[in-house]
Amino acid sequence: MSAPGRTNLRGSVGYSQNSTPNGGAAPPCQNGPLQTYPPMYPPTGYYGAPPHHQGYPGVSAPGKAPVTNSANYYQSNQQHHVAPSSYSAGPPPQPYATVPSSAPPPPPPHAQYSQQPFQQPPYAPPGSYYAQQPYQVSPAQLHQQPGLVAAPASGPGAPIYPSAPGSGHYGTTRTTTAPEATQMGAPLHHYSAAPPPPTAALHPGYEAAAQMTVNGKGCAAGVQNSSHQHYDQSHPAPRSYNSYSGGGADRPASGTLSASAHSSPGRHQGTPFGFAADSGASSASAAASGPAGALTSSSSDDDDEDEDEEAGGDSSSSSTGSASPVPNNYDSLEGGSYPDSMPPSNDMTNQAQPYSNYGYQGMPPAYQQGPAQPTDAPPSQNLYGPSGYQPYSQPFPSLSQLSAALGGLSGVPELEVEALRPVNLLQERNLLPPRPLEAPEPDISSDLKKVNCSPQTFRCTLTSMPQTQALLNKARLPLGLLLHPFRDLQLPVITSNTIVRCRSCRTYINPFVTFLDQRRWKCNLCYRVNDVPDEFMYNPVTRSYGEPHKRPEVQNSTVEFIASSDYMLRPPQPAVYLFVLDVSHNAVEAGYLKRFCDSLLENLDKIPGDTRTRVGFLTFDSTVHFYNLTEGLSQPQMLVVSDIDDVFIPSHDSLMVNLKESRELVKELLTSLPAMFSQSRETHSALGPALQAAFKLMSPTGGRVSVFQTQLPTLGAGKLQSREDPNQRSSAKGVQHLGPATDFYKKLALDCSGQQIGVDLFLLSSQYADLASLACIAKYSAGSVFYYPSFHHVHNPAQMEKFRRDLERYLTRKIGFEAVMRIRCTKGLSIHTFHGNFFVRSTDLLSLANVNPDSAFAVQMSIDDSLADSSLACFQAALLYTSSKGKRRIRVHTLCLPVVSQLSDVFAGADVQAITCLLANMAIDRSISCSLSDARDAVVNAAVDFASAYRSSVSNLQQSGLVVPAVMRLFPLYVLALLKQKALRTGTSTRLDERVFAMCEFKTQPLPQLMRMLHPDLYRLDNMSDQGALHLNDAVVPQPRLLHLSAETLSRDGAFLMDCGSVFYLWIGKGCGETFIRDVLGCPSYASVPSNMSHIPELQTPLSERVRAFLDWLQDNRAFSSTFHVVKDDSSAKAAFLQHLVEDRTESASSYHDFLQHVHQQMSK
């Protein structure tokens, strides 16, 4: 927790407001008299908001692409496949070629392509070539990256690449175009290796679809080209339409292969422009012409689908793909990315209006008429108001106005100014952006920005890398990376005999290397000059020779290589799954077994694997039971080993069986298993011996062990005692037993890790089960932990439902076996500490027995040597794994950040969400290694230190009070939210297991999910307007405003949705309108709403449809589906909802305002 950048231990300054004596006095979660903001924060609430506050009438509702599942994707593709004919009628192939606006494509690549024998007359002319264009066009979407010979290569015409001159087999392919494939690897087989005739029929569809995507994106570039406008909905539609139509000609510019890396117009790496343009295009054209409108909007569909596929990966799970891509995309529609959250960006600099270009430039009157009117509210309300900037800057004339003036006059990026605008937190209350924050973008050249790694995969806490450790120390911010490397995404897959790597540091070649000439390249991490191998001179995408810089590896910062045998220590293992099931009396009581067996039966065909896939089952109570499932047996044979002190494997080859061969037996076992133990009276649990048996069973192959445990292990090795004292649950003194009680599980996990066995733990316990000890088995073997407190199949249907959904995702999600991940960074930087589930094998190498798409990692970095001699710092994460199809693959992500020497630049590039998440990880480490109070102090000090550092860095700051730069304005709020999390809170009764589980979650959840857990999104649902809404397929998805997490924002006559990541709460006020209750919940009145309602009925009312559309939309971009609870204002479940209102004072924790006061006091000490 002692990052080099922070000195977080400030003695025991503590956070003394916690336990203020009037804890019991004021009702919890109510901002009583303590909250004295009336003048600046009218009690009606900024958000109490009449329906208008979200009006953006400018463009009513741009056709926005759906975040749908692959089924839709497929369909929309099919539509497109019809569409292009009419569409491309306008600009036939030539225009595509003609205007390489800023692109100097040496040999127009399409020419080369068109020479290829593609027999797809109906769609071919542009299709065959442009089909791959989306990937070139949109370096923005990093993973749908350019350069790959996707469908065309494998299309009917050209099944496989001819061998490159002097080289072996170059097959590059990408998976994007194969939504029907269940695995990343699948398309490879489909297209590249053996293009089967049947798929040929599909290709036109895909390609046509892809072409449409090109159009969408081409126009994105066009928009940007022509206007450099930060598009938001309030922009006059015609403009974007013009640029769209003009963009038709521009398409090839960014579309050409050659253009992809360095030449296309500066386009944000993020999605805003692309999607903004799409939406602009579609809405505009929708307005203009019926069919064409439909067409274009579906093209933007496609665009989204790309994005979504990227998130979704497998077709089976694309709807539940990884968490965040979509909100970001939609944000752009919603009014842009929030200026303050964005780092300086050149794209903004061309804007004429320095202030108003942010967010709500052309803000329609409706918005301004909201209760948050700048005129009747103090400046603090103006954050997003059009005229808000001036009033703000007045208190700080020295810095902000000056620099703003500079920005306006001399081209200093306004965003930087905006990012650094001092915000006095004690005065400004309205800090939340209207839509969830986006990741800031590094301030690098637009060429690099386009190819840079997606922030969802790779994110740095400081998007501007400080030059020296001294500078970092001055900034008092933690430096680290947040990685989500195995995220479900679409990425180019490259097959090549030689994988080009730096000879000294072994870095994979990436877009940020420099080519000194045709034959030599310079590593961007260690600066060594390397030779370009002959094979690399051939570019399989353009089929041209002598253009190494156009290879897909150099065009994409996220790529996947098919590794050769050099990357194998042994032949790739098959997918092997072992299920270890608790069948003691307690487990039977809880009733999970039936659910598990049913789920597995349902998903048996969807489990990732190939013909070699093997499964096994092992159950245990006080003895360990094995199941012989060898093919040919008439029914499964149970073998009982009762010698738990020295477990042995009764039969070596018949326990782990080939799923394909023994499918019937497996099914039979799963059908009979629940009944088999229903009479069990055995209360003991021999988990340790069962795990040892599992280890022995799996060690020859490696694979995944899924352990289902329902109680404290009481027998044999690894038995545990109850360590929790229920009376101490709410003690403020310090929480004991956060660490493991025994190292048995850790040692076993390390053994497992050594044999490439990953262990996932499902704990379904109603009692204390010492998760702190048990979780070690998953933690060090790179598994995951799932915890279902008070699970019961009858009494707790919500948990049961959650278990079912989680299982479905768990069983069908992608998996990588025998994986290692190495993180390399530019010389001068070094990795300090890792956070997540893995075993650290050396200073930069993580050993991951299994890798799953839902776990993320965090890394703390330090700066050893000055980075002064380079202007860019790069990070590369390379994940080597065996896919479930038995292919060895390497997934490489490269992130590039600018190096800065000014403290203000460091501040301007701070990513508040990433910082908060890294801080959370550090705090959890600290609370386990030292104590909880220590960790809490350190977290508070992080906020205090940062504010002090900022204040001292801005010498001419006149303002007293708690002043932070605008990019970090949410930092204290997040810190407070962090302190109120289950993992770190004190004073509130928290079960030890739940606390430990929350800690595990913090260590492994990807950032968007973590942020939602930390600071849930609150929306008001009963007065959603269609303004600003997204139009997906045929549904309208309203976009309500984000509300502050305070009881003030709740009103009795409203219905509020809180999105906590893994759970949704719908809070219904007592006076909630009858219409809402009737139309959405299907109940006649408030009183008749059942207290345990956990789903929204599918009513055919418009309001219900919109609410469900919104919920589905929120749900669509996360891996595990969330549960839903309706919370009535007077129900007992209210507490669960209210505990998330982090800005309010509770019995044991202070309110946001008190917290700010506390931080302020600490600063002045």
Partner 1 sequence: MAFTFAAFCYMLALLLTAALIFFAIWHIIAFDELKTDYKNPIDQCNTLNPLVLPEYLIHFFFCVMFLCAAEWLTLFLNLPLLAYHVWRYTSRPVMSCPGLYDPTTIMNADILAYCQKEGWCKLAFYLLSFFYYLYGMIYVLVSS
287-326 residues in contact with partner 1 (CB under 8 A) are none
For 496-574, strand residue ranges (E) read 514-517, 520-522, 529-531, 538-539, 544-545, 558-562
* The only residue of 487, 832, 885, 980 in contact with partner 1, by rule CB under 8 A: 832
Q: Identify which of residues 2 and 1094 has a Cβ nearer to partner 1 in the complex.
A: 2
Q: Identify which of residues 53 and 737 has a Cβ nearer to partner 1 in the complex.
A: 737
Please tell me whether residue 855 binds partner 1 under the rule CB under 8 A. Answer: no
Determine the 3-state secondary structure of 449 from DSSP.
helix
Please tell me whether residue 955 binds partner 1 under the rule CB under 8 A. Answer: no
Residue 1132 in tokens: 């007992």
* The only residue of 631, 643, 646, 743 in contact with partner 1, by rule CB under 8 A: 743
Quick one: DSSP state of residue 958?
Answer: -
What is the Cα–Cα distance from 975 to 1152, expressed in whole angstroms? 10
Instruction: Give the range of 450-458, 676-684, 736-744, 896-904 binding partner 1 by CB under 8 A.
Output: 736-744
Q: List b or e across 881-907, with b for residues whose CB sees 16 or more CB atoms inside 10 angstroms.
A: bbbbbbbbbbbbbbbbbbbbeebbbbb
CB of 324 to partner 1, least distance (A): 29
Q: Identify which of residues 744 and 857 has a Cβ nearer to partner 1 in the complex.
A: 744
690-719 residues in contact with partner 1 (CB under 8 A) are none
* The only residue of 518, 843, 871, 1092 in contact with partner 1, by rule CB under 8 A: 843
Residue 1053, by phi and psi: left (phi above 0), alpha (psi -120 to 50) or beta? alpha
Q: Are the C-beta atoms of residues 967 and 417 closer than 8 Å to each other?
A: no
Q: Identify which of residues 842 and 1100 has a Cβ nearer to partner 1 in the complex.
A: 842
What is the Cα–Cα distance from 426 to 1164, expressed in whole angstroms? 14
Q: Identify which of residues 408 and 754 has a Cβ nearer to partner 1 in the complex.
A: 754
Determine the 3-state secondary structure of 974 from DSSP.
helix
What is the Cα–Cα distance from 1005 to 620, expressed in whole angstroms? 30
What is the Cα–Cα distance from 628 to 304, expressed in whole angstroms? 47
Instruction: Give the range of 290-298, 334-342, 673-681, 742-750 binding partner 1 by CB under 8 A.
Output: 742-750
* The only residue of 840, 1083, 1133, 1136 in contact with partner 1, by rule CB under 8 A: 840
Please tell me whether residue 461 binds partner 1 under the rule CB under 8 A. Answer: no
For 837-947, strand residue ranges (E) read 839-842, 845-851, 857-863, 872-883, 888-900
Query: Closest Cα to residue 1070, out of 1152, 1024, 1131?
Result: 1131
Q: Identify which of residues 741 and 1024 has a Cβ nearer to partner 1 in the complex.
A: 741
Judged by CB under 8 A, how many residues of this single chain contact partner 1?
Answer: 24
Q: Identify which of residues 687 and 957 has a Cβ nearer to partner 1 in the complex.
A: 687
CB of 469 to partner 1, least distance (A): 13
Q: Identify which of residues 99 and 919 has a Cβ nearer to partner 1 in the complex.
A: 919
* The only residue of 845, 1035, 1083, 1099 in contact with partner 1, by rule CB under 8 A: 845
Q: How far is CA 759 from CA 483, 593, 622, 996, in A?
A: 21, 19, 21, 18
Instruction: Give the range of 223-231, 640-648, 654-662, 733-741 binding partner 1 by CB under 8 A.
Output: 733-741
Tell me the pairing of strands 757-763 and 829-835: unpaired
Q: Identify which of residues 758 and 909 has a Cβ nearer to partner 1 in the complex.
A: 758
Please tell me whether residue 505 binds partner 1 under the rule CB under 8 A. Answer: no
CB of 740 to partner 1, least distance (A): 5
Tell me the pairing of strands 465-466 and 422-424: unpaired
* The only residue of 186, 249, 526, 750 in contact with partner 1, by rule CB under 8 A: 750
Q: Identify which of residues 746 and 1041 has a Cβ nearer to partner 1 in the complex.
A: 746
Q: How far is CA 565 from CA 282, 520, 889, in A?
A: 48, 26, 11
Q: Identify which of residues 738 and 1138 has a Cβ nearer to partner 1 in the complex.
A: 738
CB of 840 to partner 1, least distance (A): 4
* The only residue of 14, 106, 754, 1082 in contact with partner 1, by rule CB under 8 A: 754
What is the Cα–Cα distance from 744 to 748, expressed in whole angstroms? 6
CB of 767 to partner 1, least distance (A): 22
Q: Identify which of residues 27 and 739 has a Cβ nearer to partner 1 in the complex.
A: 739
Instruction: Give the range of 151-159, 341-349, 459-467, 831-839 binding partner 1 by CB under 8 A.
Output: 831-839
Please tell me whether residue 744 binds partner 1 under the rule CB under 8 A. Answer: yes
DSSP H or E stretch at residue 174: strand 171-174
Please tell me whether residue 841 binds partner 1 under the rule CB under 8 A. Answer: yes
Q: Identify which of residues 250 and 993 has a Cβ nearer to partner 1 in the complex.
A: 993
Helix (DSSP H) and strand (DSSP E) numbers for the chain? 39, 34
Please tell me whether residue 780 binds partner 1 under the rule CB under 8 A. Answer: yes
Q: Identify which of residues 746 and 1160 has a Cβ nearer to partner 1 in the complex.
A: 746
Q: At what angle do helices 592-603 and 797-812 cross, to 10 degrees?
A: 30
Q: Identify which of residues 188 and 479 has a Cβ nearer to partner 1 in the complex.
A: 479
Can you tell me which residue has the tokens 């977290």? 939
Q: At what angle do helices 971-979 and 932-953 cross, to 10 degrees?
A: 170
Query: Residue type for 992, please?
Result: L
Q: Identify which of residues 276 and 877 has a Cβ nearer to partner 1 in the complex.
A: 877
CB of 838 to partner 1, least distance (A): 9
* The only residue of 594, 729, 747, 1134 in contact with partner 1, by rule CB under 8 A: 747
Determine the 3-state secondary structure of 106 from DSSP.
coil
Quick one: DSSP state of residue 508?
Answer: B
CB of 464 to partner 1, least distance (A): 23
Instruction: Tally Cβ neighbours within 10 Å of residue 89.
Output: 8
Please tell me whether residue 1133 binds partner 1 under the rule CB under 8 A. Answer: no
Q: Identify which of residues 513 and 861 has a Cβ nearer to partner 1 in the complex.
A: 861
* The only residue of 565, 679, 727, 842 in contact with partner 1, by rule CB under 8 A: 842
Instruction: Tally Cβ neighbours within 10 Å of residue 679.
Output: 8
Instruction: Give the range of 81-89, 445-453, 522-530, 841-849 binding partner 1 by CB under 8 A.
Output: 841-849
* The only residue of 355, 839, 907, 1067 in contact with partner 1, by rule CB under 8 A: 839
Quick one: DSSP state of residue 401?
Answer: I
Please tell me whether residue 746 binds partner 1 under the rule CB under 8 A. Answer: yes
2-61 residues in contact with partner 1 (CB under 8 A) are 2
Q: Please enumerate in sequence order all residues whose Cβ is within 8 A of that of 1145, keeping only pairs 6 or more positions apart, or say none.
A: 26, 28, 29, 30, 31, 32, 34, 35, 1151, 1154
CB of 845 to partner 1, least distance (A): 7
Instruction: Give the range of 87-95, 478-486, 735-743, 909-917 binding partner 1 by CB under 8 A.
Output: 735-743
Q: Are the C-beta atoms of residues 761 and 783 closer than 8 Å to each other?
A: yes
862-891 residues in contact with partner 1 (CB under 8 A) are 862
Q: Identify which of residues 6 and 969 has a Cβ nearer to partner 1 in the complex.
A: 6
Q: List b or e across 1132-1164, with b for residues whose CB sees 16 or more CB atoms inside 10 angstroms.
A: eeeeebbbbbbbbbbbbbbbbbbbbbbbbebbe
* The only residue of 236, 739, 1071, 1090 in contact with partner 1, by rule CB under 8 A: 739
- DSSP labels, 461-480: SBSSEESSHHHHHHHT---E
CB of 832 to partner 1, least distance (A): 4
What is the Cα–Cα distance from 487 to 855, expressed in whole angstroms? 8
Instruction: Give the range of 44-52, 255-263, 626-634, 741-749 binding partner 1 by CB under 8 A.
Output: 741-749
Tell me the pairing of strands 888-900 and 558-562: antiparallel
- Residues that bind partner 1 in the complex, under the rule CB under 8 A: 2, 739-744, 746-747, 750, 754, 780, 830-834, 839-843, 845, 862
